[in-house]
Amino acid sequence: MKKRSAVWMLAVFLAWTSLSITDAAPVGRDTTASATDPRLDMVAALQAMSPHPSLGDQAKVFGRFVGTWDGEYTEYSKEGEETRSSGEWIFGWVMDGRAVQDLFIIHPSAAHNDAYMGTTLRYFDPKSGTWSVIFIDPENDAVETLTGGAVGDDRIVLLSPNADGKQRRWSFLEIRPDSWVFRDEVSLDGGKTWRLREEDQMKRRGAPASARWHLTAGRRPAPMSGGLVASTGTSTTRTLEGSPWIAAP
């Protein structure tokens, strides 16, 4: 009970933080606010310019995402229908550099009449050797907790607790200095099979146009089938647990 209460208290804090940061972000920004505006006091105190020394090499896991990323998002319904949108994902060090917080933003579109914003806080737990992640979605009154870490140099995998067979998996894939792919999956059978809910292609703002990744033309994400890498001519098609990707030339 204490742990659950602590999570919800943190969730409330994150919700307030995300709304406060909105004043300083491109979406809903108050252009009349000055550096001495008291509404920005908490935001100014929250931010950090670098990771805390205690993190050591673990700082590289999420520290490489610090900055602003432009994204092309694709959501998949249970029936397989696709909903496409665009937005931005902003990462930064907070709390004396002991945590990484982000703002996940979806721009208004035909699918989303209003701008959407969620926020995530990530911190490293040296006792378990894993990253703890708490995502809060104020608009839909939802909180998600996951744990995990880096798998090799170009992949991060996070899993939610297994609640009666239902589990979420977040993956950061094909991580490069200027691009990466995010996948949100759900399992209803304790991780035996997974359904893809969302797939986002991210590009660092200001990066050259060649820094991009896209789905193989004419192919849709397949069900989970395990990792497979195959070469197709001068390109490389990577089927990471069922999803084919081609590195753009």
Question: What pLDDT shows up at residue 113?
Answer: 84
Amino acid at the residue 41: D
Residue 97 predicted with pLDDT over 80: yes
Residues 6+ apart with CB under 8 A from 220: 80
* Local confidence band at 248 (pLDDT 50, 70, 90 cut-offs): very low
Question: What pLDDT shows up at residue 33?
Answer: 67
Question: The whole model's pTM is what?
Answer: 0.75
DSSP H or E stretch at residue 199: strand 195-204
The verdict on domain 2-247 having CATH code 2.40.128.20 is yes
Amino acid at the residue 144: E
Tell me the pLDDT of the chain averaged across its residues.
Answer: 79
Residue 135 predicted with pLDDT over 80: yes
